[in-house]
Amino acid sequence: MSSSSSTASRYVDSYYARTVAAHSPRPALTQSRETEVCVVGGGLAGLSTALGLAQRGVKVILIEARRVGWGASGRNGGFVSAGFSLSSRQIVKDLGRQQAREVYDLSRDAVGLIRDRIAAFDLPGVPVIDGRMKVLRYHDPEYLARDRDFMSEVFGVESELWSRERLREVLLTERYHHALYNASGFHFHPLNYALGVAAAAESRGVEIYEDTPAVWLDLESPEKSVQTVSGSIRAKQVVIACGGYIDGLQPALAGATLPVATYVVTTEPLGEDIKRAIRVPYAISDTRLAGNYFRTVSGGRILWGGDITARTRAPRHLAKQMIADLVSVFPQLTGVQAEDAWMGLMGYPVHKMPQLGQQAPGVWYCMGYGGHGMAATTMGGELIASAIAEGDDRYRLFARYGLQWTGGRIVGAIAAQATYSYYQLLDRLQESRSTA
C-alpha cells in the first residue's frame, strides 16, 4: 500500500491493496457531530449514497468501521455490468416484463454513471477495460443463443454469440464450448474506484471517518443518534449500508442478509506468457451458479475468482486451492505461482435482489447486493439519495424484495450451503453429460 498509518486498519492483502493509488487514511470520529444524513458503511453502497446526496446539496457524515472500500467493494472481481444477482428471467417472472425492464434499465444507467464518474472526477488508477464475456462449460449451442435472444427482446441488450472455434482461438482451453460477448460491460480496479468515489464525495463536502464502527443506534425519535466507540452523530436521517459485514448491527437488517464468502487469487506476473492461455482483455465468467470468473491485470497476471460458501473463514490453503482451480481449466499453466489470495463476504438476501427502503421514517437501508454489486450499489445509492433529497420513490420498484429473514447465521448458512452444493452437483452433471 502506498500510504497508511500504523494505527489505521489495514486492507486485506490483495492485488488491489498492493496496487492502490495514493491516498491517506481518514481520522476516526472522536467528537459529537450533527448532520442531515449519517451514512453507516463505507463500501460502494454507502459511498454512492453519500456522493449522490452531496451532489444534491445534502450535508452528510459517513462512518466506516475499517477503511473506505475495506469490505467487498475493495476486494471484488472488478466486473461492472448491468443486472443483479437474481437471474433476469426470474426478475421477469417476479415483476412482469415492464417493471423488470425498469429495474434493469436503472442498473444499466448505473454502469453509465460509473463511467461518467470515473471521467468527470478523473479518478486515479481506474482505467476502464471494455468487454464482458460469458462462457459455457458444456456443449449446448442453443443455450447461449436463447439467452442472447431473451436479453435482446426483453431488455434491449445486444450481445454476440461466439462459436467454439472462435472462442478457442482466444481462450486456450477445452473446458469452454461457446461464449456470449457484450461490449457494454467492463472491468476496473474496484478499490481505487471506491477510494475515488470517497474523494469525490469529500470534494462535495461529505465528512468521512474511518476506523469508526457504529456500535449503537437510537433510531426511535425524529432526531436519530449513532454512537461510535469514541464519538456520536445526531442526524435527521440514517442510511445503513453495511453489506455482508453488518454483523449484529440492527437485528432486522442483519437477519435479512446472509454473509456468504467467495475467493480470489492473482497469479505471479506472466508477461507475454499469459497468451499461452488467455488472449483477450475481457472480463470473463462461466455460467455456473458458483462458477469462475477471471480477467488479466497488470504485468500479465491472471485474477481468478470463484467458489461460494456459507463458511465465512478462509480455507488454510486458499492460494493452492484457487491455483488448482485455475489449472483445471488451463492445464498449460501448471507450475504458475499465486501472488495474493483473499476472501470477501457478500451480503445475500434469500431473494438475491437489492434491499432498498425505509425501515421507519428517516431510517434507510441500502444493502443485499450479493455477488453482483458494482453497478447495483451505484444504482441503489442514487435511488436512496434521490429519495431522501427529492422524495423520488423509484426505490419502491424493489419493494417486492424486502427484508425476509434468512434463517439466521446457523440455520440460514446450513440451508444456503446445501443449496450451493445442490447447484454445484447440477452443474457437474450437466458438464459430464456434455458429449462434444
Ligand X SMILES: Cc1cc2nc3c(=O)[nH]c(=O)nc-3n(C[C@H](O)[C@H](O)[C@H](O)COP(=O)(O)OP(=O)(O)OC[C@H]3O[C@@H](n4cnc5c(N)ncnc54)[C@H](O)[C@@H]3O)c2cc1C
Instruction: State the nearest-atom distance from the C-beta of 67 to ligand X, in Å.
Output: 7
Kindly write out the interface string for residues 211-240 of this chain, putting x where it contacts ligand X by CB under 6 A and - elsewhere.
Answer: --xx--------------------------
Instruction: State the nearest-atom distance from the C-beta of 436 to ligand X, in Å.
Output: 30
Instruction: State the nearest-atom distance from the C-beta of 174 to ligand X, in Å.
Output: 25
Instruction: State the nearest-atom distance from the C-beta of 222 to ligand X, in Å.
Output: 22
Give yes or no for residue 357 binding ligand X (CB under 6 A). no
Instruction: State the nearest-atom distance from the C-beta of 257 to ligand X, in Å.
Output: 9
What are the cell numbers at 290? 458458483
Give yes or no for residue 288 binding ligand X (CB under 6 A). no
C-beta of 42 vs 196, nearer to ligand X:
42
Residue type, 98: Q
Residues in region 45-84 near ligand X by CB under 6 A? 45-46, 63-66, 70-73, 75-79
CA angle 193, 245, 34 (to 5 degrees): 75
Element (H, E) at 169: helix 164-170
Residues in region 331-350 near ligand X by CB under 6 A? 344-346
Residues in region 112-171 near ligand X by CB under 6 A? none
Nearest Cα to 103, choosing from 94, 295, 167? 94
What are the cell numbers at 191? 478499490
C-beta of 114 vs 138, nearer to ligand X:
114
Instruction: State the nearest-atom distance from the C-beta of 248 to ligand X, in Å.
Output: 9
Choices 98-106, 140-148, 366-374, 399-407; region in contact with ligand X by CB under 6 A: 366-374
Instruction: State the nearest-atom distance from the C-beta of 258 to ligand X, in Å.
Output: 13
Q: Please enumerate in sequence order all residues whose Cβ is within 8 A of that of 126, keeping only pairs 6 or more positions apart, or say none.
A: 21, 118, 188, 189, 192, 193, 196
Residue type, 434: S
Nearest Cα to 283, choosing from 126, 64, 131? 131
Instruction: State the nearest-atom distance from the C-beta of 265 to ligand X, in Å.
Output: 10
What Cα–Cα distance (Å) separates residue 406 from each residue in 277, 349, 359? Answer: 40, 7, 17
Kindly write out the interface string for residues 171-210 of this chain, putting x where it contacts ligand X by CB under 6 A and - elsewhere.
Answer: ----------------------------------------
Strand-pairing partners, residue 283, are 132
Strand-pairing partners, residue 161, are 180
Considering Cα of 156, then 157, then 158, then 161, what sign does the dihedral take? negative
Q: Please enumerate in sequence order all residues whose Cβ is within 8 A of that of 55, keeping only pairs 6 or more positions apart, or say none.
A: 204, 385
What number of chain residues touch ligand X (CB under 6 A)?
A: 43
Give yes or no for residue 255 binding ligand X (CB under 6 A). no
Give yes or no for residue 107 binding ligand X (CB under 6 A). no
Of 29, 100, 264, 277, the residue at the interface with ligand X (CB under 6 A) is 264
Instruction: State the nearest-atom distance from the C-beta of 221 to ligand X, in Å.
Output: 20
Q: Label residue 303 exposed, middle or buried (CB < 10 Å: 0-12, 13-18, 19+).
A: buried
C-beta of 384 vs 388, nearer to ligand X:
384
Query: How many Cβ atoms from other residues are within 10 Å of residue 276's Cβ?
Result: 12
Of 35, 37, 41, 340, the residue at the interface with ligand X (CB under 6 A) is 41
CA 250 to chain centre: 22
Nearest Cα to 36, choosing from 395, 367, 389, 366? 389
Nearest Cα to 169, choosing from 279, 253, 50, 316? 279
Binding residues for ligand X, rule: CB under 6 A, are 40-46, 63-66, 70-73, 75-79, 213-214, 241-246, 249, 262, 264, 305, 344-346, 367, 369-374, 377
